[in-house]
Each structure stands twice: as C-alpha cells, then as structure tokens.
Amino acid sequence: MTATATQTASVFRLNNGDTFPHLSADLVGGGTLNLPADLAGSWGVVLFYRGNWCPFCRTQLSDFQKSLEQFAGINTKVVALSVDSQSEAQETVSKHGLTFPVAYGIDAQATAASVGNYVSDGSDGKPPYSHATGFVLSPDGKVAVALYSSSAIGRLNAADTLGLIKYIQSQT
C-alpha cells in the first residue's frame, strides 16, 4: 500500500481469528484499560477514534452509548481509545454522557504497529492520530471482525455490530 500525504499505513492487519494484542492505556476517571484482558469472558467492541475534534467519531461514540444496554444484554462490553489528552477525552465523555471505558493518550504509531490501524502523519496540522478502527472480539480475545478506516468515514455502527454479534452467538 502506498501512503498518501495525510496518512500512513502499517504493514499488516489483524484478521478474523487472530488473537488481539495486549494494549494498555489510561482511562478517563482513573485506572488502566488492559486489552484484551478487561474484556475476557464477554464479547468486546474496541473502538479506536480519531479524537474529540472529529464529528464522525463523536457520532459513533454516541451511537454506541445509546445502545449500551442492548450490548450488555448480549454479554458485550464497549471500550474506546484515542490519542486525545486526558482533558480532551474527559470532554468527550462528559459532553456525550459516555459510561463505557474511554482510554486516552495512546501512541498512534505504537498502536498501529500492534493492531494495524491507519495513522495520520500530521500534515493536517494535528499531531499523529489513529484513524477510526473497530474490532469485535469474541470472549476468548480473538478478532471476530476488524474494520479499518483510512479517513473520516467507514466505521462500525451500533446496529450492525449488535446484529453481527447476535448472529455469531446464534451459530454457536
């Protein structure tokens, strides 16, 4: 893949059936998010979002918040991560009433090396950030679905994700 002026791509992608790599990040409100361990025994939705400044990301996070009770009903936890500072992530959580774990301060390049997401190169005037990337993890920490976006759109939404998890659960 050739990198454009506004993004760089890692050399690999996680595929269905791959074990999700270990990632740790600080959480808004305190504590640490440890993936995939914190999702063990339940289905998981892992949302990497571009940042508080991104209207598409804010819409996605709000969408998952509105469906959080439905996710809980099918034994599914939702988490989100970004390069945002603690104050920016706190603003996102407060403004949108997010009650699922939101991690901040991830290193975009290090994350790309472990999960394969696209990363901006900073040419848009912002520090490097991870483009929207979403994963559905099975209870054993394996990737059930990986969705990589190279720009503002093309991301998991709550309704499709709920439907997919319900379908997979019905097949087992």
Q: Which band of pLDDT confidence, cut at 50, 70 and 90, is reported for residue 161?
A: very high
> What pLDDT, on the 0 to 100 scale, is given for residue 123?
80
Exposed (0-12), middle (13-18) or buried (19+): which is 89, by Cβ within 10 Å? Answer: buried
pLDDT higher than 50, residue 28: yes
Cβ contact 125:100 at 8 Å? no
Q: Which band of pLDDT confidence, cut at 50, 70 and 90, is reported for residue 87?
A: very high
Per-position b or e across 151-162, b if 16+ CB within 10 A of its CB: eeeebbebeebb
pLDDT higher than 50, residue 153: yes
> To which residue do tokens 């059930």 refer?
144
Average pLDDT over residues 92-105: 98
> What pLDDT, on the 0 to 100 scale, is given for residue 2?
37
Measured distance CA(24)–CA(151) in Å, rounded: 24
Measured distance CA(142)–CA(140) in Å, rounded: 6
Give residue-wise pLDDT tens across range 48-76.
999 999 999 999 999 999 999 999 999 99
